[in-house]
Amino acid sequence: MNIYLYKKTHKVTGLKYLGKTTNSDPHSYSGSGKYWKRHLDKHGYVYDTEILKECHSKEEIKEWGRYYSELWNIVESDEWANLKPEMGDGGDPGPDGRKKISETKTGKKHTPEQNLQKSKRQRGIKRSPAYLAKKIGLKYKTPKARVFPNKNKGRPLRKEWVDKSAATRTGMKYKLVECPHCGKKGGSCTMPRWHFNNCKLKS
C-alpha cells in the first residue's frame, strides 16, 4: 500500500496544507482538513500539489509527517491550514491546535452556497444503527423527559395510593349526554367543555 505525504498550495491565497492520502492520484485528492476544505469552498478548488514522500507503512508516514509538521510549524503558522500535526492518524490536536480551531470558528457562519455544497456531500451517506440511536434518537425525546425522568417507572404502586385512587372513583358512572344545540353525543365529563353553553351552534 502506497501512502503519499503531500503539500498543497492554494493558487489564489497561497495558503498551504500538509496531508496524506492512499489515493492512487494524490494530485486530484483535495484533502480532508476542516479548515482547508472551508477555505476551498470559499476561494475555489484551485491548488498545486507537491508529493513530499511516498511511504509504504503507517510508521513511516507518521515519522515523516511529524518531521515536516515540526519543520514548518504548521499548527501555529498562519501560512498553513492544518489545525493539528500531520501524524498519519487522528489524535489530539493539542492546545495550539484547539486554540486555532476555536479562532477559526468564532463568528463564522456558512453561506447558503456552502450549506448547499455540504448538503450535497451528505446525500447518500448511510448512518450506522449506533449513530442513529445516539444522535437522532435523542432529538425526538421531549426536554421534559430528559430533565425530569420518571423515577417511579417500573416500581409497584403503594397500597395506600391504590386505595385512595379507588376511593375517588367510587360512585362515578359514565353518562352519555346530548348537546341541545348541535345534537352531538358524548361523555358527561368532557361534553360541557365544548358543547352546551360553549357550543358553537348556540344561538
Confidence of residue 82 (pLDDT cuts 50, 70, 90): confident
Q: Where in the chain is the domain with CATH 3.40.1440.10?
A: 3-115
Confidence of residue 109 (pLDDT cuts 50, 70, 90): confident
Cα torsion 138, 144, 149, 150 to 10°: value is -120
Domain at 3-115: CATH code: 3.40.1440.10
Backbone region of residue 124 per phi and psi (left: phi > 0; alpha: psi in -120 to 50; beta: other values): left
Q: How far apart are CA 128 and CA 71, in angstroms?
A: 40
Cell of 160: 395506600
Q: What's the whole-model pTM score?
A: 0.45
Confidence of residue 98 (pLDDT cuts 50, 70, 90): low
